[in-house]
Structure 1
């Protein structure tokens, strides 16, 4: 064997050894967990041309975060992100978020997704940021945030809460949405599924009904959505509803049926599960965190009893939407990671008590900075909230 052959063998041995080391490190660092922890993601922290009239500095909603002022003595504003004001449409910045999420037990993002006047809104966060950075590390699904877009962001606007864009859609627009969601998102390998069916969450069912022209038309449209999903190669569509006061408790115009409860509404339209978006939808967000949390989480068992479809518990970090308003609104004044930990354990226990359901817990939120409810680290609690989830959910 000549010197060149020895050199090749030596080089090959080095390559194999290095590969073995990397493989060992990869195995050592692989994260496994028994629960799916899905954090809602508000995709407003990047430049969106359609929102430039609201955010002229081209920073998205960061502009109201770093300009926030306390409304009274002791009011903890502004909130300051530990990582700085990241651009979520930049894959490098999104990579930082994904890495931290997965390392701390958040294995799914639920993106607020918008469609106004025939076009998507705030979608670059997903398309340019998340999908380019993710590389299969975590799952994601969409919550169609089909509420009206209003001017409440615009602090000096004399017409507070006037509508910029309507959140409702007609059937033509609904069909366009269905095609876009299936082709662009459901077919991505990282899209979150339950029993093989892509999960699609709808924020305001009553708005969907109003736009489509009634209950019967909405049922037909959702049946069409299911068929298109099956035609795309999936076993079905998993429709998830957001449970709050905006979920209708009755619907009219259904021949031969008396629909007078939220459960009957869900059954009629064929929804598969429910969760909450936040505790602010359940209890007035004002004052003590633990009192607010106890009142909200004590409702879980009632939700589970009242509905024939699975209810997935929601955890909420805190609440303070004052950056969005020129006047004072109610807020939670004493949240802390160690208090949050109590309700994380309560959510785990609830899920364990329902073994026939997917072990899914939703969290408000990954980054609702403008509502004061975020897992991302700030300069006060650092990585505290994420560390709570890591301790509860991550196994090495």
Structure 2
């Protein structure tokens, strides 16, 4: 009996050791959340077939890209090939690469046009079927108008395809869908237990309801529905750029004329950037562009009373979408990118009162030349840069 008890104790100690080792190893929570924006356009979407008739999504734009001038690196060639992200096996490979290199959150661009979602198959059929709680995700409602900006064949980039603004009836449908389909998924990203929901264009959001008061009522309803679904609240995140208004037109009490006042009026909890192209003209040397963009973080601290989460952008080259060609960022490298990741990490450390969240543009903005996914030039270089700074 004594030997059995001793053997049982050794087994228990071994199991405890294995459990602790697992907690300290692969399943250990990172000290920083690195969230990469994900553009879900690399699968067949019937509603976009008039733009991408090859039925491969925006890959068609990538492999048909041409250089603007000698030395211009176009087309960008994905190391993994022109894969279908709505295939769980393909997404499984992406998730493995992300989490093993310190990218533990995807922020999916999410669309709603003409009373129905667009490009959801990437999340529903690809990510959610492959993930198995390995990484977290949240939604950025990309509620901008859908224009010919996506269409490389159309030189007029302002032709309207679908409006991004919605009325209250449609918004209520969106709220129910987002809460039931995404918030309730155990992998959905939360801050203080509250699901994070990001809105890309606040101007367009207000426009759909006809007035700031009606837009505020809609967001209050969203909070109420989220609480009713069992969460302690809703964490609203805004994208900081020119589409974030500086005043609340039509509200008599609004006299301050600041973006911070607007965010407080609507009850936003945090903000970040989508990319540096929204902050500085995306043309010229990467270091100059990156330094000018990240130097703005200090002014964001003084301008806003809610947390700002720093954004680091890989590069910028939207030429695949443009005829005639347009400007682009030159001389980007993983080594330069890593310097600004460290700057973002330092910023997070200097703000211990807020979550250590860093956003990255982007996981796969191939048509804008800003992607972490490996290509034939740098291989896994950009992901290795994230790993060297953030992976446990």
Picking from 240, 247, 252, the partner of 2:249 is 252
Q: Is the 8 A contact 2:22 2:28 kept in 1?
A: no
Residue 205 of structure 2: aligned partner: 208
Shift in CA distance, 38/158, structure 1 to aligned 2, threshold 3 Å: closer
Is residue 225 of structure 1 aligned with residue 222 of structure 2? yes
Secondary structure at the counterpart of residue 136 of structure 1 = coil
Q: Is the 8 A contact 1:251 1:259 kept in 2?
A: no
Is residue 266 of structure 1 aligned with residue 240 of structure 2? no
Q: What is the rounded CA distance, in whole Å, between the counterparts of 2:151 and 2:29 in structure 1?
A: 44
Shift in CA distance, 158/334, structure 1 to aligned 2, threshold 3 Å: closer
Matches within 5 A, 1:237-386: 237-386=234-383
- Structure-1-length-normalised TM-score: 0.92
Residue 53 of structure 1: aligned partner: 50
Is residue 189 of structure 1 aligned with residue 189 of structure 2? no
Shift in CA distance, 103/263, structure 1 to aligned 2, threshold 3 Å: same
Q: CA offsets, 1:43-77, max 9 Å, x none?
A: 00000010011111100000000010001111110
Secondary structure at the counterpart of residue 335 of structure 1 = coil
Q: Is the 8 A contact 2:52 2:58 kept in 1?
A: yes
Q: What is the rounded CA distance, in whole Å, between the counterparts of 1:217 and 1:321 in structure 2?
A: 36
Residue 178 of structure 1: aligned partner: 175
Q: What is the rounded CA distance, in whole Å, between the counterparts of 1:103 and 1:387 in structure 2?
A: 10
Picking from 98, 103, 106, the partner of 1:106 is 103
Q: CA offsets, 1:337-386, max 9 Å, x none?
A: 01111101100100100000000000000000000000000000000111
Q: Relative to structure 2, which stretch is displaced further, 114-123 or 386-395?
A: 386-395
Picking from 94, 98, 101, the partner of 1:97 is 94
| Superposed displacement of residue 158, structure 1 | 6.0
Secondary structure at the counterpart of residue 71 of structure 2 = coil
Q: What is the rounded CA distance, in whole Å, between the counterparts of 1:379 and 1:60 in structure 2?
A: 20
Residue 146 of structure 1: aligned partner: 143
Q: What is the rounded CA distance, in whole Å, between the counterparts of 1:62 and 1:24 in structure 2?
A: 44
Secondary structure at the counterpart of residue 111 of structure 2 = strand
Q: What is the rounded CA distance, in whole Å, between the counterparts of 1:85 and 1:45 in structure 2?
A: 8
Q: Relative to structure 2, which stretch is displaced further, 23-32 or 39-48?
A: 23-32
Secondary structure at the counterpart of residue 244 of structure 1 = coil
Shift in CA distance, 22/308, structure 1 to aligned 2, threshold 3 Å: closer
Q: Is the 8 A contact 2:61 2:152 kept in 1?
A: no
Q: What is the rounded CA distance, in whole Å, between the counterparts of 1:206 and 1:357 in structure 2?
A: 26
Structure 2 spans left out of the alignment, 5+ residues: 1-14
Q: What is the rounded CA distance, in whole Å, between the counterparts of 2:28 and 2:63 in structure 1?
A: 35
Q: CA offsets, 1:259-298, max 9 Å, x none?
A: 4100000000000000000000000011100000000000
| Superposed displacement of residue 34, structure 1 | 0.2
Secondary structure at the counterpart of residue 99 of structure 1 = helix
Q: What is the rounded CA distance, in whole Å, between the counterparts of 1:158 and 1:241 in structure 2?
A: 31
Residue 11 of structure 1: aligned partner: none
| Superposed displacement of residue 255, structure 1 | 3.6
Shift in CA distance, 118/331, structure 1 to aligned 2, threshold 3 Å: same
Residue 8 of structure 1: aligned partner: none
Q: CA offsets, 1:97-137, max 9 Å, x none?
A: 00000000000000000000000000000000000000000
| Superposed displacement of residue 328, structure 1 | 1.5
Secondary structure at the counterpart of residue 176 of structure 1 = helix
Give the number of aligned pairs: 378
| Superposed displacement of residue 161, structure 1 | 2.2
| Superposed displacement of residue 26, structure 1 | 5.6
| Superposed displacement of residue 251, structure 1 | 1.2
Q: What is the rounded CA distance, in whole Å, between the counterparts of 1:256 and 1:305 in structure 2?
A: 23
Shift in CA distance, 369/158, structure 1 to aligned 2, threshold 3 Å: closer
| Superposed displacement of residue 245, structure 1 | 1.1
| CA RMSD between the two structures | 1.8
Q: CA offsets, 1:212-263, max 9 Å, x none?
A: 1111110111001000100111000000000011110111222433241000
Residue 86 of structure 1: aligned partner: 83
